[in-house]
């Protein structure tokens, strides 16, 4: 099928970010500065383990030290929190990420709030979320920040555009809306209770879909010429697909992210950017 839309290659953009970080970290190491990211993995969920290994490989590829702290699936809340406290106190650790989801017996929010805001590379701590809300400096959650970064690097104008975000999670939807507002877009947020969803998505110049359901957005839901960002990752018949009907929407959109190879690599690249930013800020180091 002939595709009209320009494909927004997340892998290519992520690699350019990796190269920039690699060069920065080389210069920092010449000054005796070495930065470290620690990812906490609870249990042996295959998908989570794969994600964590990928993050470790990327960290080491660009020159960060990447550590995986593995804990058993039946670890107690108290032991997990104690490990987070230990990492908070470890001056060699610049970024802490607790891989989600956690086992059901763990109070996830309590764990996320235990991570020091100064080492919160995911940007999920309420203090970082609150600072972002009121316009103060803080790291942003990796997926929304990666999307905005990609739009800039691809020359896609955000200011003055009508952006529609489908999804209101704390991880993607809400911070995505805030970031787009920061970029001077006019933003509409839709969710599972939105009536006549298609009527709203067809108004979008920039459409971000993050609901975790395949084919939520199809060709008729998209305004011709819109930029479509598909955050979804769903397994259908053993194949990884997004929330958007890629083939159909590609015929009307001006640009679209594929799944896989779109938003996912940008999320990991932004995680590395956040680690470097937090590490330098905490250590009071300014780059030359």
pTM over 0.75? The answer is yes
> For residues 4 and 20, what is the distance between their CA atoms, to the nearest angstrom?
31
Residue 85 CB neighbours (<10 A): 13
Chain centre to alpha carbon of residue 3 = 27
Residues annotated as catalytic are 55, 99, 122
What pLDDT does 2 receive? 42
**Hey, what domains does the chain have and what are their CATH numbers?**
33-116 (3.40.50.10860), 141-264 (3.40.50.720)
- Dihedral angle of Cα 268, 269, 270, 271, to the nearest 10 degrees: 50
More confident residue, 140 or 45: 140
CB-based contacts of 15, cutoff 8 Å, min separation 6:
265
User: Among 202, 200, 158, which Cα is nearest to 180's?
Assistant: 158
Helix axes 46-62, 263-283, angle to 10 degrees: 60
The Cα diameter of the chain in Å comes to 57
One-character DSSP codes across 191-234: -TT-SSHHHHHTT-SEEEE-SS-TTSB-GGGS-TT-EEEE---E
The per-residue pLDDT of the chain, averaged, comes to 95
- In which band, very low, low, confident or very high, does the pLDDT at 287 lie, cut at 50, 70 and 90? confident
Beta strand 95-98 with 65-71 is unpaired
Tokens 């780059």, located at residue: 287
Give the tens place of pLDDT for each residue, 239-259.
Answer: 999 999 999 999 999 999 999
What pLDDT does 45 receive? 87
More confident residue, 208 or 45: 208
Give the tens place of pLDDT for each residue, 200-213.
Answer: 999 999 999 999 99
- In which band, very low, low, confident or very high, does the pLDDT at 1 lie, cut at 50, 70 and 90? very low
């Amino acid at each position: 099928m002939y595709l009209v839309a320009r494909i927004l290659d997340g892998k290519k953009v992520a690699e350019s970010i990796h190269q920039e970080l690699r060069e920065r970290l080389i210069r920092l190491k010449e000054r005796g500065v070495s930065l470290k990211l620690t990812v906490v993995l609870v249990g042996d969920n295959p998908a989570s383990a794969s994600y964590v290994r990928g993050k470790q490989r990327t960290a080491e590829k660009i020159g960060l030290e990447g550590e995986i702290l593995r804990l058993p699936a039946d670890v107690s809340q108290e032991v997990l929190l104690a490990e987070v406290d230990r990492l908070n106190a470890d001056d060699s650790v610049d970024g802490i990420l607790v891989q989600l989801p956690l086992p059901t017996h763990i109070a996830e929010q309590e764990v996320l709030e235990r991570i020091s805001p100064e080492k919160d590379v995911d940007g999920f701590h309420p203090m970082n979320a609150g600072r972002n809300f009121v316009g103060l400096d803080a790291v942003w959650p990796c997926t929304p920040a990666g999307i905005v970064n990609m739009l800039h690097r691809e020359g896609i104008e955000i200011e003055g555009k009508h952006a529609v975000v489908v999804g209101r999670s704390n991880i993607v939807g809400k911070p995505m809306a805030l970031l787009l507002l920061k970029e001077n877009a006019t933003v509409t947020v839709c969710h599972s209770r939105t009536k006549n969803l298609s009527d709203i998505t067809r108004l979008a110049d920039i459409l971000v879909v993050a609901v975790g359901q395949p084919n939520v957005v199809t060709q008729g839901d998209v305004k011709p010429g819109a930029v479509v960002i598909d955050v979804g990752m769903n397994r259908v018949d053993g194949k990884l697909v997004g929330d958007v009907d890629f083939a159909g929407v590609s015929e009307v959109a001006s640009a679209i992210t594929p799944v896989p190879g779109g938003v996912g690599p940008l999320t990991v690249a932004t995680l590395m950017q956040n680690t470097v930013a937090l590490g330098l800020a905490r250590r009071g180091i300014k780059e030359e």
